[in-house]
Amino acid sequence: MEKMTLVLLAAGMGSRYGGLKQLDAMGPNGETLMDYSVFDAIRAGFTNIVFVIRKDIEAAFKEQIGSKYEKFIQVDYAFQRLDDLPGSFKVPEGREKPWGTGQAIYAAREVVKGPFVMINADDFYGADGYQKLAQVLKNGAKDEFAMCGFYLGNTMSDNGSVSRGICSKDANGNLADVVEHTKLVKEGDRMFSLIGDDKIEFPADTIVSLNMWGFQDSLFDYLEELFTEFLKERGTELKSEFYIPSVVDALVKSKKAKVKVLTSEDSWFGVTYQEDKADVQAKLNKLIEAGKYPAKLF
């Protein structure tokens, strides 16, 4: 395979979880969920990894995470900074948090060359998605992207609300629409999005984005343009976020890019809340017992 990069978004502190969950041990030998993602990417033929982190966690991150992979794959870092903005835009007084997943990918523009897959560092996606995305991207044109979706019913937490991008496909299997829902809750076997006073139900087989996207490096030109537009409209807000699903949605609707919708045969799981940890550990142990992963990854 030619150069194929995995970009892991690991800059968040995990405020709802209560700590730096990207560095939290989940596997039987202290593995993090990132370890499983990197292991699966290497098996799928990826050649490079770029971690998007904050500068203040650089030393701990490199020591505990990045150093493990350096003999297996090329490892690089990009840093998400509050003031990393296009053009002459400035951070408004009082803003403390960075600008979301779109800005996190924008931060990697100098180190990512060629096709790449982006994921959240604190999620487990399974091996299937990396393999399918790599196959699509390696033969794709500059405006041909992809996403690996999961079924909503398999991605909910029993311990609180979650954020998901609700997706729909066109007749050709390409993404027609993706809308970020930031407060999805589970009530028994039913799933609802809470939007103000409204309560919208979605079926369990709704395809959702868990931020497992496949892009060509042409995305960075689009990001520059769309981030500029975003800042013109919402750059003075103290908590506005530039979401990558919103970027993709804008590119699809303007017909600047096509996004092939893939679905994984594997189950997604993650740790949104501290209470999710025991469930994640149990699922990893079952995969190890089934022979899908070795007990010790690296």
pLDDT at 105 over 80: yes
Residues 110-118, mean pLDDT to the nearest whole number: 96
pLDDT at 264 over 60: yes
- Tell me what the pLDDT averaged over the chain comes to: 90
Residues 248-262, mean pLDDT to the nearest whole number: 93
pLDDT at 19 over 70: no
Rounded percentage of the chain residues whose pLDDT exceeds 90: 67
> What residues have CB less than 8 Å from 196, skipping those under 6 apart?
none
pLDDT at 137 over 90: yes
Amino acid in position 205 = D
* Calculated CA dihedral for residues 76, 82, 84, 85, nearest 10 degrees: 140
Q: The domain 5-289 is classified under which CATH number: 3.90.550.10, 3.20.20.100, 3.20.20.70, 1.10.3720.10?
A: 3.90.550.10
> What residues have CB less than 8 Å from 197, skipping those under 6 apart?
none
Instruction: Report the first-to-last Cα separation within the chain, whole angstroms.
Output: 22
Q: What angle do CA 83, 85, 89 make, to 5 degrees?
A: 95
**Cβ contact 198:213 at 8 Å:** no
pLDDT at residue 22, as a whole number: 58
Spatial separation of the C-alpha atoms in residues 199 and 178, rounded to whole Å: 18
pLDDT at residue 63, as a whole number: 83
Whole-angstrom CA distances from 167 to 185, 261, 293 are 17, 9, 30
pLDDT at residue 213, as a whole number: 96
Residues 254-273, mean pLDDT to the nearest whole number: 88
pLDDT tens figures, 266-294: 888 887 777 888 889 999 999 999 999 99
pLDDT tens figures, 208-232: 988 899 999 999 999 999 999 999 9
> In degrees rounded to 5, what are phi and psi of residue 124?
-110, 125
**Cβ contact 101:10 at 8 Å:** no
pLDDT at residue 106, as a whole number: 97
**Cβ contact 91:235 at 8 Å:** no
Spatial separation of the C-alpha atoms in residues 146 and 148, rounded to whole Å: 7
Spatial separation of the C-alpha atoms in residues 280 and 155, rounded to whole Å: 12
Band of pLDDT at residue 65, cut at 50, 70 and 90: confident
Structure letter (DSSP) for residue 55: G
pLDDT at residue 277, as a whole number: 87
> Which residues are bridge partners to 194 per DSSP?
199
Band of pLDDT at residue 18, cut at 50, 70 and 90: very low
pLDDT at 14 over 80: no
pLDDT at 262 over 80: yes
Side-chain half-sphere CA neighbours of 127 within 13 A: 11
Whole-angstrom CA distances from 23 to 32, 65, 78, 114, 269 are 6, 8, 17, 28, 16
| Residue entry with tokens 């999710």 | 276
- State the pTM of this model: 0.88
Domain boundaries of the chain, sorted by first residue: 5-289
Residues 241-254, mean pLDDT to the nearest whole number: 91
**Cβ contact 155:162 at 8 Å:** yes
16 or 88, which is more confident: 88
Residues 125-153, mean pLDDT to the nearest whole number: 92
Band of pLDDT at residue 15, cut at 50, 70 and 90: very low
Band of pLDDT at residue 20, cut at 50, 70 and 90: low
- Per DSSP, helices labelled H in the chain are 33-43, 58-64, 101-106, 127-138, 219-234, 244-253, 277-289
Spatial separation of the C-alpha atoms in residues 22 and 9, rounded to whole Å: 10
Amino acid in position 43 = R
DSSP calls for 27-74 = STTS--HHHHHHHHHHHTT--EEEEEE-GGGHHHHHHHTGGGTTTTSE
Rounded percentage of the chain residues whose pLDDT exceeds 70: 96
